[in-house]
Structure 1
Amino acid sequence: MLIILAFIILFHLAAAILCFVATIHNAWWVVTPAGRDVIFTDLWYSCNATCVPVENSHTTDAAYLQAVQATMILASILCCVSFFVFILQLFKIQQGERFLFTAVIQLLASLCVMIAVSIYTAQKNTFHMPSLQDGSYGSSYILAWISFPMTLISGLMYLVLRKRK
């Protein structure tokens, strides 16, 4: 049972780390213009030699970008909260009960990641300046997609998991 518990904790921590890295790292969109430096764009900044805020990110024109920012931050927070709730429930709930509250929070984190990445995928051309349209998805975008099934599986594991001795 201790091995299963260690695996669940490590799996949850890996999902949380992926969620944080995807939110923070500046490689959601990568553009390699001919003869110039590679330009990395994340949810807040576009960086090559210097970093500048994403154009119009503070206006209503970028409401989609603001939704992606908010849901990725919320997913990261919910993933951490569900881990702390799991640790608390590990010591507080009685034997034989399920970790339902932890599972619900983790499944909400999974839903937030899915919403954020889906919005980014559908609206990627409205986020970037015309000079940045000819790029490709970066490593943070891929990590966000990987963190979605990891948080989903983690939430489902908590749903099935019962406290044993």
Structure 2
Amino acid sequence: MVFLLISLTMLHLVTLAMLLIATLEKSWWVWTDIEITDLWYNCFHDNATKTWLCAATNESDWLQSVQALMVLSVVFSSISFLVFLGQLFTMSKGGLFYFTGLCQAFAGFTAFAACLIFTFHRKEILNDSRDLSKGRFGYCFILAWLCVPLLLVSGVLYVHLRKRQ
């Protein structure tokens, strides 16, 4: 039982870290090795100074919905972890972690919706005149997709986890 509890806690923390990286890091769409776009900025790498020069993205309704859903996913997962810690110390023996699992599942569904919106509306989100076939999805987009099943599985595990002494 202790092994399951530690494993589930580690899964939750790893997934939360992956969500934070996917939301805040700059690589949702890669045009070239020196030009990338994320949820917040369009960045170019300046070879002379060896730094990234970033400008705010052009706001669109689709981009704002992806931003909001990814932030909501991080918030739900964080609340889920804090509630889990609280329930772990206050819940009576035999109780189930329903609220924790529900928050974690909501985090998974919001990340899923954000990834779907970015996948199907990337032309409107990127708002660029260039051909999208010249770019590719970045590692943060892939991390966000990887978080979806991890969040949903951990949400289901939390719902079935019973507190024992």
- Taking structure 2 as the reference length, the TM-score comes to 0.91
Within 2, Cα distance between the matches of 1:38 and 1:132? 17
Within 1, Cα distance between the matches of 2:91 and 2:125? 46
Q: 2:68 corresponds to which residue? A: 70
Within 2, Cα distance between the matches of 1:119 and 1:131? 20
Considering fraction of residues, name the structure with more strand. Answer: 2
- Please show how residues 122-161 of structure 1 align to structure 2 within 5 Å: 122-128=120-126, 129-131=128-130, 133=132, 134-161=134-161
- Please show how residues 10-159 of structure 1 align to structure 2 within 5 Å: 10-32=10-32, 38-49=34-45, 50-55=53-58, 57=59, 62-128=60-126, 129-131=128-130, 133=132, 134-159=134-159
Residue 159 of structure 1 and its aligned partner are, at CA, apart by 0.8
**Structure 1: runs of 5 or more not aligned:** none
- Taking structure 1 as the reference length, the TM-score comes to 0.91
Residue 131 of structure 1 and its aligned partner are, at CA, apart by 2.8
Q: 2:7 corresponds to which residue? A: 7
- State the percentage of identical aligned residues: 36
Within 2, Cα distance between the matches of 1:105 and 1:30? 32
Q: Which runs of 4+ in 1 moved over 6 A?
A: none
Within 2, Cα distance between the matches of 1:147 and 1:77? 14
One-letter identity of the residue aligned with 2:98: L
Secondary structure at the counterpart of residue 42 of structure 2: strand
Residue 132 of structure 1 and its aligned partner are, at CA, apart by 6.4
One-letter identity of the residue aligned with 1:131: R
* Alignment RMSD: 1.1
Secondary structure at the counterpart of residue 52 of structure 1: strand
Within 2, Cα distance between the matches of 1:47 and 1:78? 29
**Structure 2: runs of 5 or more not aligned:** 46-52
Secondary structure at the counterpart of residue 40 of structure 1: strand
Q: Residues 132 and 77 from structure 1, CA distance in 2 versus in 1: closer, same or farther, beyond 3 angstroms?
A: farther
Within 1, Cα distance between the matches of 2:40 and 2:89? 39
